[in-house]
Chain A
Amino acid sequence: MATTAERAAEDDATTALPYADDGKRRFRPTPGGWAGRAAFVLALALIVVWYVTANKPFRADELSAGVILAIGALSLNVLVGYTGQISLGHQAFIGIGAFSAAYVFSHNHQGFYAGLAASAVVGIVQAVLLGLIALRVRGLYFALVTLAWGFMAENAIFRITSFTGGGAGTPFPRPSAFRTDKTYLVLCGIVLAVVLLIDWRLVATKAGRALQALRESPNVASSYGVNVRGYTLFAFGVSGFYAGVAGALFAARRLTAGASDYTFIDIALPLLILTVVGGLRRRGGIVVFALLYVLGREYLPDWGQSISFLKDNAIYVVPALSGVLAILTLIFQPEGLGTITAPIGRWLKGERFELDLSGGSGAEGVDARP
C-alpha cells in the first residue's frame, strides 16, 4: 500500500534501530562472540564443580537453604513482579507446603515424592483461595489481607496439633537418594532448575504476556481478550506451586516441619527483601542474591575474624544490611541485582552486552485497582 509505505517514511518515530547493522534488523554475534559466551558459561560451570568437589568445609546445608529461599523468592516474584499483587504472608504459602508434605509422610505413610506432590497441590489450592479474595480487594488493602493471612497461618493453622504436630512438629525425612547434605543440595538445585525453566516458559508465552498486560492495565488486557480474573487466579496458583514445593524442601532439609520455622520474621520478610534486592522480574538477580544472603550469613563470621563485632553478630548484620539494601534498591535502582544479571543473561542469549543503569520500572505493581 503506497500510502502506508509513504507514511512509514514520514513517521516521526526513530527510523534507525539501535542495532541497525548493514540494513539487518537484529544484532547477531560473530562466531568469536559465541565462543566467548561459551567460554564464560564453561568457566562458571568449572567454578561450581570445583567448589562442590573440593575438600573444603563446604556449607552444603546452608547453600541448600539459599536455593530453597531462592525458590520461595521466585514464588513471591510471580505475585509481586508478574501480577502486581503484594504478598506479605508468604510464610503461609511455604509453611502449608511443608506441613502437607510432612502430613502425607507421617499420617499416610507415603514417601518423599508423594509429599512433594502434596505440597505442590495444597500450595496451589491455598494460594488460589487467597487469590479469590484478591479479585475483590484493591491492591494496597490486599497487602493487609495477606499480612493477616500469614499471621493466621503462623498462629493458628500451623498450631493445629492434629495437622502439624504442634510444637514438636512432624518429621519429614529426605529421600533415600539424596540423604547427605551435598546430595540434598543437588536435589534442591534440580528443583530450582525445573522451577526456573517453568518460569522462563511462563514469561515467554501467552500467560506471561497476559499477566504483564493485566499488571499494567486490566482494561487494556481485557480488550486484548485476556480474562483478567482467570489469569490472576492462575498466577496465584503458580506462585502457590513454587512455594509449596519450596516448603517441602525446607522441611526435609530440617528433617522436620515445625511451626516455629514458618514465621513472618523468618520467612515472609526475608523473601520480600530477596525479591526486591534481586530485582523484580529478574530471576537471575533473585537467585544470586538468595545465595549471597545465605552465604553472607554463613561466611561473614569467618571473614570478619578480626572484627569481633562482625563475628558475633553476623547473623543479625546480614538481614539488617539486606534491609538497607532493599531500601536503597527501591530508591535508586529498582532493578536491583538484576541490573547486572539481566544484561549478562541477554548477552549469553546472543545480544550485545549493554548495561542500563538508568533505573527501570521496578516495583510499580498494582496501584489501587479501580
Chain B
Amino acid sequence: MVLGIAIAQPAVFGIVNGAAFGLVAIGLVMIYKSSRVFNFAAGEFATLGAFGTYIGIKVLGLPYILAAILGVAAGTAAGLLTERLVVRPLADRPKVTVLVATAAIATIAIPLELMIGGVKTFPARPAFENGVSIFGVKIISKLGPSIFGVRVSPQLLLIMVSLIAIGVLLVWFFGRTDLGLATLATSQEPTAGRLVGIRLNRISMLTWGAAGFLGGLGGVLLAPVTASFTAGYGTTGVLISAFTAAVVGGMTSIPGAFLGGILVGLVQTYAQFDLTKVTGASSVALFVMLVAVLLIRPTGILGTEA
C-alpha cells in the first residue's frame, strides 16, 4: 500500500502537471494546425499569465480568482498582440522566419518582466489556500481531498477541472460551431477558405487569442505548483515541455496534445523525483522523449502528418 502511494503520488502530480502542459500544448497545436507555424512566444504567454496573477495579488490586492483572470487576460492580450504585430506582417514568409520572430518576443518580454517586477523570483500563491468553502461550509480542505490515499491539493484539482472544461469547450467549438469548423477548414486549405468567404484575419486572431488564453491559463495554473517563478519561466520551464507534449501527441491533434501533456508530465515527474534525483534529469528525459518520437514515429501518437 505504501509502495502504491509512493508510485501514485508522483503519478498524480505528474498527470496534473502534465495536464497543464497539455493546455499550453493545445494552443501550440491550434496554431500549427491553422498556419503550420511553431509559436515560440507561447512560453511567455504562460509567464505573463503567472505574472499577471502576481501583479493582481501583490500590487492590486485582488482576490485570487480575479487575479487569475487578470493573468489569463494578460496572456490572451499577448497572443492577440503577437498575431497583429508579428504574425500577420510575416504571413507570406517562410515558417522559419515566423519561428524566429516569435522567439524574439521572448527577448522582449523577459527584460520587461524584470523591469516591471523588479526582482528575479516571484512568489506564486496557490489557489484556495484556505480550502474551498461554500456558504461557510468547507467542502475542500487546505490540503485537498485524499483519493485512494493520495493527496490532491486544491491547485491540482483546479488544473484538472480547468482542463476538463477546456476540453469540453474545444470539442463543442470545433465540432458544433460555424467558426470552429471554418477554423478547421482553413487550416487544411486556406485558399479554399478564402474563396468560400471565410475571413482569414478573423480566424488568425481567434487562433492566436486562444493560444494566448491557453498559455496564460497554463502559466496561472502551473506557477503555484512550484510556489515561485522567475522571469522567463514560461520559456525555460514550460515551453519545451509543452512542445514535447504536442509532438508526442501529434502536432495536428488537439486530443493528442492533451494526451502528450500527460505523458510528458508523468515522464518528467518520475525522472526527476523517482528514478535518479539528479538535477536536470527531467530535461534529459524531455530531450530523449522528443528525439525518440521524431525518429521513430514523427507523426506522434494521434497525429496525421509527419
User: Per the CB under 8 Å rule, do A and B touch in the complex?
Assistant: yes
The residues of A with any CB-CB pair to B shorter than 8 Å are 84, 86, 88, 133, 136-141, 143-145, 147-149, 151-152, 154-157, 159, 263-265, 269-270, 272-273, 276, 313, 315-317, 319-320, 322-324, 326-327, 330-331, 334, 362-368
Let me know if B84 is at the binding interface, CB within 8 A: no
Q: Would you give the shortest CB distance from A266 to chain B, in whole angstroms?
A: 10
| B101 proximity list for chain A (CB < 8 A) | 326-327, 330-331
Assess A141 versus B247: contact at CB under 8 Å? Given A152-B284, A154-B283.
yes
Pair A144/B97 contact, Cβ less than 8 Å: no
| A270 proximity list for chain B (CB < 8 A) | 107
How many Å lie between the Cα of A273 and that of B85 in the bound state? 18
**Nearest chain B residue, comparing its CB with the CB of A156:** B280
Let me know if B197 is at the binding interface, CB within 8 A: no
**Nearest chain B residue, comparing its CB with the CB of A161:** B279
How many Å lie between the Cα of A252 and that of B38 in the bound state? 37
Let me know if B182 is at the binding interface, CB within 8 A: no
How many Å lie between the Cα of A365 and that of B95 in the bound state? 9
| A366 proximity list for chain B (CB < 8 A) | 96
Q: Mark B86-110, 1 if CB is under 8 A from A, else 0.
A: 1001100111110111011111101
How many Å lie between the Cα of A319 and that of B231 in the bound state? 14
**Nearest chain A residue, comparing its CB with the CB of B286:** A148
| A143 proximity list for chain B (CB < 8 A) | 38, 96, 99
Let me know if B278 is at the binding interface, CB within 8 A: yes
| A324 proximity list for chain B (CB < 8 A) | 108
| B90 proximity list for chain A (CB < 8 A) | 330-331
How many Å lie between the Cα of A324 and that of B106 in the bound state? 10
Q: What are 10 A-B pairs with beta-carbon distances under 8 A?
A: A144-B38, A147-B239, A148-B240, A152-B280, A155-B280, A159-B280, A265-B110, A265-B236, A327-B104, A363-B94
| B59 proximity list for chain A (CB < 8 A) | none
**Nearest chain A residue, comparing its CB with the CB of B107:** A323
Pair A269/B107 contact, Cβ less than 8 Å: yes
How many Å lie between the Cα of A327 and that of B236 in the bound state? 21
Among candidates A133, A144, A269, A365, residue contacting B247 with C-beta atoms closer than 8 Å: A144
Pair A152/B295 contact, Cβ less than 8 Å: no
How many Å lie between the Cα of A154 and that of B287 in the bound state? 12
Q: Would you give the shortest CB distance from B80 to chain A, in whole angstroms?
A: 16
Pair B278/A156 contact, Cβ less than 8 Å: yes
Q: Would you give the shortest CB distance from A50 to chain B, in whole angstroms?
A: 33
Pair A155/B94 contact, Cβ less than 8 Å: no
How many Å lie between the Cα of A192 and that of B70 in the bound state? 48
How many Å lie between the Cα of A144 and that of B38 in the bound state? 9
Q: A151-B286, A322-B107 are in contact. List 11 more A-B contacts (CB 8 A).
A: A137-B295, A144-B244, A147-B243, A148-B291, A152-B286, A273-B104, A320-B112, A326-B100, A331-B89, A331-B101, A363-B100
**Nearest chain A residue, comparing its CB with the CB of B243:** A144
How many Å lie between the Cα of A320 and that of B109 in the bound state? 7
Pair B97/A363 contact, Cβ less than 8 Å: yes
How many Å lie between the Cα of A264 and that of B234 in the bound state? 12
How many Å lie between the Cα of A183 and that of B249 in the bound state? 54
| A263 proximity list for chain B (CB < 8 A) | 236
| A319 proximity list for chain B (CB < 8 A) | 107, 110-111
Pair A367/B96 contact, Cβ less than 8 Å: yes
Q: Mark B225-242, 1 if CB is under 8 A from A, else 0.
A: 000000010011001100
Give residues 94-149 of B contacting A (CB, 8 Å): 94-97, 99-101, 103-108, 110-112, 114-115
Let me know if B294 is at the binding interface, CB within 8 A: yes
Assess A151 versus B97: contact at CB under 8 Å? Given A320-B108, A323-B104.
no
Assess A365 versus B94: contact at CB under 8 Å? Given A141-B247, A144-B243.
yes
Pair B104/A326 contact, Cβ less than 8 Å: yes
Question: Which of B105, B107, B110, B281: most chain A Cβ within 10 A?
Answer: B107
Let me know if B222 is at the binding interface, CB within 8 A: no
Assess A330 versus B115: contact at CB under 8 Å? Given A151-B236, A156-B279.
no
Q: Would you give the shortest CB distance from A113 to chain B, in whole angstroms?
A: 31
How many Å lie between the Cα of A133 and that of B112 in the bound state? 35
Among candidates B236, B279, B295, residue contacting A136 with C-beta atoms closer than 8 Å: B295
| A364 proximity list for chain B (CB < 8 A) | 94, 96-97
Pair B283/A269 contact, Cβ less than 8 Å: no
Let me know if B290 is at the binding interface, CB within 8 A: yes
**Nearest chain B residue, comparing its CB with the CB of A139:** B96
Q: Would you give the shortest CB distance from B244 to chain A, in whole angstroms?
A: 7
How many Å lie between the Cα of A17 and that of B112 in the bound state? 51
Pair B295/A86 contact, Cβ less than 8 Å: no
Let me know if B6 is at the binding interface, CB within 8 A: no
